[in-house]
Amino acid sequence: MSDPGTARHGSKTPRRLRRALYVVAPIGASLLAGALVLPASAAASTLGAAAAQSGRYFGTAMGQGTIGNGTDTTVAAREFNVVTPENEMKPDATEPNQNQFSFGAGDAIYNWASARGMKVRGHTLAWHSQQPGWMQNMSGTTLRNAMINHINGVMAHYKGKLYAWDVVNEAYADSGGGRRQSNLQATGNDWIEVAFKTARAADPSVKLCYNDYNTDNWSSAKTQGVYNMVKDFKSRGVPIDCVGFQSHFTGGSSLPSNFQTTLSSFAALGVDVQITELDITNASTSQYQGTVAACLNVPRCAGITVWGIRDSTSWRSSESPLLFDGSGNKKAAYTSVLNALNSPGTTYGGGTNPSTPPTSSTGSTGGSSTPPVSSTPPSTGTCTATLSAGQQWSDRYNLNVTVTGSSNWTVTMNVPSPEKISSTWNTSATWPSSQVMVAKPNGSGNSFGVTIMTNGKWTWPTVSCSAA
């Protein structure tokens, strides 16, 4: 959570909480993620449908009480396309007694959502809080083994069913950028890595996320601590597919001006970013709209979840932080969010499957053809952009781009459909359309890279370079 002294979500006990270079679609419409984004006169009328136009989701948190309330279920079924259980998949709920697993509450939410075609995010497998009593009393190797057993037991039950899991929750301290002191941390600094490796072995199909609060501000030491952990994991092949930002914005912890920088910086590491528990004091229309816009501007921002449906049942009910009032009526913030989702934005650029760590730097492509070793595409102006091959895997490949002739360049890359750029590094990139990327220097020199998901096609993109 974002505010010390506020209550934990889910009715639990308190805790601390340039210039356009291409016209790529007819006027009034653009192609995003294979879906047509319609002009405003035919804009989507619900949050989930509006988010889906750019390949994203818009979800909510629901509890057992929520799925038993007609007002809540009416709103949820109409507006959202992803559900996160509030408390029903946490350790104390799923393994109340050691080796005795209980899935009734979690299954009730999963069944309600899946029956309506909604995806489910699992929340959460390993956490210092909401541990069952028997786990709280453990330490050392005993606790480490219990954590591994818990992850295996819960993930076995939900294997192949869920969209994503928050594997580890809130493992960083509120200040200083270091790890939170907890019984899990005391088992050894590698406990988070072990949790993710265990989770990947238990279910190769689900996205594996790290989730935390107060990591929205790029300048925060806590944000940098989590960033460095994810960077380390990606460099060593530790399986991590996504990072969740809770984004509980309050009067004292409002939407930071560099929030989009935070999202894009994490995404550049090769992970999806997700806003997982959004709520905002007094449902500020400008902050809700700004949060959504930041996500839409980052290709690997997969989607947004608000933590609850109505103000009256929010864990911050006295602050009226949600998009619907106590009677289920749409608030002004709802309109600001819907308008933002209906505005043109980048396509969600994440992979459709969880990442698989490379086993070597020069593997087989696994495709029907192998890209050439190097390429010198056409250039304009006084600079040239040259492509060269990087790492290759069965479903994706890296390309290195080197610019010569200018240090103030703009490189435009056209990616053949259905291929898609999933990540970039050492550049500042924008996406005028789902198949066009515009890259500029970001202070890292005249070379940058991209990872391209093949989606069954192995054809290098074309690039052009213009100098200022």
- Which residues are catalytically annotated? 170, 277
Q: What are the phi and psi torsion angles at 293 (to 5°)?
A: -60, -40
Residue type at 89 in one-letter notation: M
How many Cβ atoms from other residues are within 10 Å of residue 22's Cβ? 12
Q: How far is CA 330 from CA 78, 163, 283, 338, 415, in A?
A: 12, 28, 11, 11, 40
At 420, list the tokens. 């898609």
Output Rg (C-alpha) for the chain, integer angstroms. 22
3-state secondary structure of 269: coil
Dihedral Cα 292, 293, 296, 299, nearest 10 deg: -110
Angular region, 382: left φ>0, alpha ψ -120 to 50, beta rest: alpha
Q: Give dist(CA 152, CA 142) in Å, integer.
A: 15
Q: How far is CA 79 from CA 32, 333, 388, in A?
A: 21, 14, 45
Helices within 159-240 (DSSP H only): 191-202, 221-236
Helices within 26-90 (DSSP H only): 47-52, 64-67, 70-79
Kind plus residue range of the DSSP H or E element containing 71 = helix 70-79
Tokens 């949050």, located at residue = 47
Q: What is the DSSP string of 309-354?
A: SBGGGSTTGGG--SSB-TTSPBPHHHHHHHHHHTS--PPP---SS-
Q: Are strands 30-32 and 248-249 parallel, antiparallel or unpaired?
A: unpaired
Q: Give dist(CA 134, CA 145) in Å, integer.
A: 13
